[in-house]
């Protein structure tokens, strides 16, 4: 079995962050989202992986993966020249996939406990496709599946105005080669894209067997700022283990499940987990609250930070209460005047903010 990871797209909903960073490389608990996806695919036993990239951000993704921790897999890259839909991405990967069964995984999605059991389930069954579903509060934002009483998929619709169920397509699919024939038979949607929902519906029309699995664990679609913060919260809460690689300075406390990288200095500060602080940071006379991740090389002075994602090489000084924020790399946030109440920011790279 092979795997493709879809890592193109413009990340429009995450601008200004995605002006300078591919959305799949944004960090959750100080680790790029794409790296979690690669971990889960390799854990499932798949060793032949292609990452679908765009011309705009593909070089950045290649560089990040090459500098990553390394995976026991053959990783190749396929350029999708324009974002013309998920089914178009499969079409673009046709030569790589050949006649293999394959896993398709959206590179900005995370699911609890990975995909190993779904890959095993698919390999042991006669189904032509296996689709992962999750109950959501507003299915109008997703591809939606309608099931019969026995759990068989009856119909799939992309972003319906009047959904017939609350079961959203998660962004993890397993296919046999017949999906290519189905894609060849569909036409672009009103959005001008080849939709994977239409292709799976065409499989049903062709009489193929499409099965589903409803996830009971969490699913994280990291398409927006609040989604990123929620993903950071859940991953820190669910996966983080205490790992403090430094000697904490006098007058400081590190409480609960906290990860601190080598070379970081913590002086006169309290860090309360779950929280992740990367190597070579400085935390001086500050409070780092739960559900915060701080990337490498960042300096925090005389500040209090809660429920936030801070990228690398930032400097935050004299901010009484920074919360619910994403701060891009090499950004400076300082206070020049009295600021009362919490500060919430969503700032891209290389900014200079005075409050």
Q: What are the pLDDT digits (tens) for 34-68? A: 999 999 999 999 999 999 999 988 999 999 999 99
- Tell whether 252 and 205 lie within a shared domain: no
Average pLDDT, the chain: 90
- Tell whether 284 and 190 lie within a shared domain: no
- Domains contained in the chain, number: 2
Q: Give Dmax (Cα) for the chain.
A: 69
Region 295-304 average pLDDT: 96
Residue 8, CB-side half-sphere exposure with 13 Å CA sphere: 22
Region 229-238 average pLDDT: 93
Q: Which of 24-33, 156-165, 166-175 has the lowest mean pLDDT?
A: 156-165
CA angle 157/229/238 to nearest 5° reads: 90
pLDDT of residue 186: 95
- Tell whether 258 and 300 lie within a shared domain: yes
- Tell whether 21 and 94 lie within a shared domain: yes
- Tell whether 107 and 137 lie within a shared domain: yes
- Tell whether 197 and 288 lie within a shared domain: no
pLDDT at 339 over 70: no
> Which of 211, 231, 251 is the C-terminal boundary of a domain?
231
CATH number at residue 154: 3.90.550.10
DSSP state of 249: P
- Tell whether 251 and 225 lie within a shared domain: no
Q: Residue 349 is encoded by which pair of tokens?
A: 């790279």
**Number of other CB atoms surrounding residue 178 within 10 Å:** 15
> Which of 197, 231, 265 is the C-terminal boundary of a domain?
231
CB 218 within 8 A of CB 198: no
Rg (CA), the chain: 22
d(CA 48, CA 42): 9
**Number of other CB atoms surrounding residue 119 within 10 Å:** 23
More confident residue, 346 or 26: 26
The domain containing residue 330 runs over which residues? 240-354
Percent of the chain whose pLDDT exceeds 90: 65
Q: What are the pLDDT digits (tens) for 80-121? A: 998 889 999 999 999 999 999 999 999 988 898 899 999 998
CATH number at residue 306: 2.160.10.20
pTM, whole model, 2 decimals? 0.90
- Tell whether 192 and 324 lie within a shared domain: no
- Tell whether 215 and 283 lie within a shared domain: no
pLDDT at 164 over 70: yes
d(CA 234, CA 291): 8
């Amino acid at each position: 079995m092979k795997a493709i990871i879809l890592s193109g797209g413009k990340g429009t909903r995450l601008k200004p962050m995605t002006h300078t960073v591919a959305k799949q490389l944004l960090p959750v608990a100080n680790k790029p989202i794409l790296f979690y996806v690669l971990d889960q695919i390799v854990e499932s036993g798949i060793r032949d992986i292609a990452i679908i990239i765009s011309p705009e951000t593909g070089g950045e993704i290649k560089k990040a993966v090459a500098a990553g921790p390394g995976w026991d897999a053959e990783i190749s890259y396929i350029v999708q020249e324009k974002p013309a839909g998920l089914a178009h991405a499969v079409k673009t990967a046709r030569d790589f996939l050949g006649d293999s069964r394959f896993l398709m995984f959206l590179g900005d999605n995370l699911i609890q406990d990975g995909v190993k059991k779904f890959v095993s389930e698919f390999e042991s069954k006669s189904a032509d496709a296996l689709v992962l579903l999750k109950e959501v509060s507003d299915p109008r934002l997703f591809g939606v599946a309608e099931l019969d009483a026995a759990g068989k998929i009856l119909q799939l619709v992309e972003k319906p105005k009047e959904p017939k169920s609350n079961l959203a397509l998660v962004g993890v699919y397993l296919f046999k080669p017949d999906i290519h024939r189905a894609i060849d038979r569909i036409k672009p949607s009103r959005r001008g894209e080849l939709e994977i929902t239409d292709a799976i519906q065409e499989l049903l029309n062709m009489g193929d067997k499409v099965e589903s699995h409803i996830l009971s664990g969490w699913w994280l679609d990291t398409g927006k700022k609040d989604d990123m913060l929620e993903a950071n919260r859940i991953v820190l809460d669910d996966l983080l283990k205490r790992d403090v690689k430094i000697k904490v300075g006098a007058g400081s406390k590190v409480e609960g499940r906290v990860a601190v990288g080598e070379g970081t200095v913590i002086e006169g500060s309290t860090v309360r987990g779950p929280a992740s602080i990367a190597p070579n940071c400085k935390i001086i006379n500050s409070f780092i609250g739960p559900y915060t991740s701080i990337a490498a090389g960042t300096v925090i002075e005389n500040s209090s930070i809660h429920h936030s994602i801070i990228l690398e090489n930032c400097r935050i000084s004299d901010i009484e209460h920074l919360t619910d924020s994403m701060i891009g790399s090499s950004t400076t946030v300082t206070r020049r005047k009295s600021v009362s109440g919490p500060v919430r920011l969503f700032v891209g790279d290389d900014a200079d903010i005075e409050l």
